[in-house]
Amino acid sequence: RKEVEQDPGPFNVPEGATVAFNCTYSNSASQSFFWYRQDCRKEPKLLMSVYSSGNEDGRFTAQLNRASQYISLLIRDSKLSDSATYLCVVESWGGYQKVTFGIGTKLQVIP
Amino acid sequence: NAGVTQTPKFQVLKTGQSMTLQCAQDMNHNSMYWYRQDPGMGLRLIYYSASEGTTDKGEVPNGYNVSRLNKREFSLRLESAAPSQTSVYFCASSEAGTVDTQYFGPGTRLTVL
């Protein structure tokens, strides 16, 4: 089983729609969680951190479910500019830092 | 403030050739990283440097060497390129060694024939 699993998509959604992605992780000792955004042929950029209490940044909401070992990203009122690949990142510390990236979920927002 | 810069942007090598990928950051970060990204796989850490003068292996170090030349620069060397090293290489730097303070460079697309 992969340490971090994501549905690669693509998710094709119309403008204005709400879309949600999940990411599951296998290491129950994982401590920090993040969503990165990567545009086509560009570098990844931090979108948001995921806190135990959940967090919201404008149209984006991230949540963590430790019991089921998954994190989620919800995008409301999708814009064309949201089209990108969203990477799930899990950080764990067990004597040393380990950072694991998911393969990403591709989102295409359609006019 | 350029952030993280990488050279070259593109490179084609023949099997067995060597080359060095350059990376520099102007954010005064202590930690620097080299990743590779392949289709169907997440970014994988090749090597990292927690501070000037130190380097450590990541998940996929075989076939690579690194040099932390100074606080700004971290280079990745392929001594004898193989087709399996065809990939997109990203350099990153981090203020505190944590994911949420990590900034990536624009990447180098390497093809080994």
- Kindly write down the DSSP assignment for every residue of A11-61, as one continuous string: EEEETT--EEEEEEES-TT--EEEEEEE-TTS-EEEEEEE-TT-EEETTEE
In chain A, the percentage of residues whose pLDDT exceeds 90 is 82
Distance, in angstroms, between B18 CA and closest chain A CA?
A: 24
> What's the residue count for chain A?
111
User: What is the β-pairing status of strands A105-110 and A84-93?
Assistant: antiparallel
Cβ atoms of B89 and B81 closer than 8 Å: no
Q: Any chain B CB within 8 A of the CB of A54?
A: no
Cβ atoms of A62 and A55 closer than 8 Å: yes
Walking along chain B (113 residues) 10 residues at a time, the average pLDDT comes out as: 93 97 96 94 93 92 96 97 97 87 95 97
Cα torsion B80, B86, B87, B88 to 10°: value is 70
Among the partner residues B45, B97, B100, nearest to A46 by beta-carbon distance? B100
pLDDT (tens digit per residue) in A15-39: 999 999 999 999 988 889 999 999 9
Chain A neighbors of B106, CB-CB under 8 A: 42-43
